[in-house]
Amino acid sequence: MDSFEKINYSIRPNKCIERKMICEVLSRLSFIDDLKNYRYIGFGSTYFTDFTLFHKQLGIDNLISIESAENKKERFELNKPFSCIQILYGEATTLLPNLELDKKNNIIWLDYDGVLEDYMFGDIDTIVSSAKEGSAFMISVNVAPLLGTQEEKFKTLVQRVGKQRIPIEFYDANLNGNKFIEVVYQMIDMQIKKSLSERNGSNSKRIEYKQIFNYLYKDGVSMLTIGGIIYNIDQKQSVNRMKLHELTHVRSGNDQYKIQCPNLTYKEIHLLNSLLPCELKINKNGDITNKEFKKIPLASNDIKDYSEIYRYYPNYAETNL
Contact 35, 60 (CB under 8 A): yes
Position 244 scores a pLDDT of 97
Closest Cα to residue 231, out of 135, 102, 125, 101?
A: 135
Q: Report whether pLDDT(10) > 70.
A: no
Q: Which residue has the higher pLDDT, 249 or 1?
A: 249
| Per-domain boundaries in the chain | 3-259, 266-312
Amino acid 247 reads L
Q: CA 66 to CA 220: how far, in whole Å?
A: 24
Position 5 scores a pLDDT of 39
Partners of residue 213 on adjacent β-strands: 227
CATH code that applies to domain 3-259: 3.40.50.150
Position 6 scores a pLDDT of 43
Q: CA 23 to CA 81: how far, in whole Å?
A: 18
Mean residue pLDDT across the chain: 93
User: Percent of the chain scored above 70 by pLDDT?
Assistant: 95
Closest Cα to residue 133, out of 62, 214, 203, 233?
A: 233
Contact 121, 54 (CB under 8 A): no
Q: Report whether pLDDT(107) > 60.
A: yes
Exposed, middle or buried, 147 (CB in 10 Å: 0-12/13-18/19+)?
Answer: exposed
